[in-house]
Structure 1
Amino acid sequence: MSLIQLISFPPLGDDRGSLVALESQQSIPFDIKRVYYIFGTQQGVARGFHAHRQLKQVAVCVTGRCRMVLDDGEFREEVWLDSATKGIFIEDMVWHEMHDFSDDCVLLVLANQLYDESDYIRDYTNFKELASD
């Protein structure tokens, strides 16, 4: 079983340019409750290093690129996000890290729940224990 669940977002448009539509329960496999984006990440800085108890997310680099690492406590996989037409679905109880941000990277994240600090698992040892249950 692969942790990497890529989603293709077909570009729409014409000779004036392209457009990608992200829609709840269509191109995004859940109802979108929260949208945020990460940008201006300094060279050599990694982000993430947590999992969520219930939150599901889709991440897409709308510009630039970054390397995503996903870990379910047993398997660890990585993939480059480097296209505005490709996203990655991050299930609940999947540890995720973002590395190697390009200077121009803007990482857009769509989530199925509002922010809730109690949903975060920020300690990898604790995550491994919970994931093995």
Structure 2
Amino acid sequence: MNKNTIDNIQIIEIPKIADRRGNLSVIEGNTVPFEFKRVYYLFDVPSGSKRGGHAHIKQQEFLISLSGSFDVILKDGKSKITVTLNRPNQGLLIPTGIWRELENFSSGSVCLVLSSGEYKESDYIREYKEFRLFKK
């Protein structure tokens, strides 16, 4: 049983250095509360498409909208919230055991994901029914 709820989800400000030449944000070891072992990004997501639709048993993830915007629908088996990501100096921390779906991608949006683990199919829960059983 995983006790994380949507109350454990956090928006984390990423340090921003403002300059007349443009802004710079830096993600270092203390920006995200876990050591990330995998970095990937979603881009050119067709209009109306959805991504995600799963939960992780052990991995945590940190999502950032580098460009454009998208919605992240988060469920803990009892409650549901939607978070819109649209600022490259803000990230969404998703702890283990939280169902996530990404949708409403704007044209040109890029979603960067920092993950606490390398890809392992056995860490994924891909069926919502299975997820509900995992949360009990």
Q: Shared fold by TM > 0.5?
A: yes
* Alpha-carbon distance between aligned partners in 2 of 1:92 and 1:4, rounded to the nearest angstrom: 10
Q: Provide TM-score, normalisation by structure 1.
A: 0.95
Please, what is the CA RMSD of the aligned residues? 1.1
Q: 1:6 aligns with which of 7, 11, 29?
A: 11
When normalised by structure 2's length, the TM-score is: 0.93
Q: 1:82 aligns with which of 82, 86, 95?
A: 86
Give the paired residue count.
Answer: 131
Find the aligned partners of 2:103 and 2:7 in 1 and give their Cα distance.
20
Task: Summarize deviations over 1:7-26 as a string: whole Å, max 9, x none.
Answer: 011211421111110112x1
Q: Contact 1:4–1:79 at 8 Å: present in 2 too?
A: no
- Would you say the 8 A contact 1:51–1:94 is kept in 2? yes
**For the residues of structure 2 that align with 1:21 and 1:131, how far apart are their CA atoms?**
35
Name the counterpart of 2:98: 94
Paired with 2:8 and 2:109, the residues of 1 have a C-alpha distance of 23
Match status 1:107 vs 2:116: no
Question: Which digits, 9 at most, give the CA deviation of each residue in 1:61-87, with x for residues without a partner?
Answer: 000000001111111111100000111
| Aligned-residue offset at 1:3 | 4.8
1:59 paired residue number: 63
**Which segment is superposed worse, 76-85 or 7-16?**
7-16
Q: Which residue of 1 aligns with 2:3?
A: none
Deviation, 1:32, is 1.2
Within the alignment, does 1:28 sit opposite 2:28 as a pair? no
Contact 2:9 2:95 in 1 (8 A): no
SS of the equivalent of 1:31 reads coil
The SS at the match of 2:7 is coil
Q: Residues of 2 paired with 1:119 and 1:72: CA distance? A: 17
State the distance in 1 between where 2:44 and 2:34 align: 28
Equivalent residue of 2:23, what SS?
Answer: strand
Contact 2:125 2:131 in 1 (8 A): yes
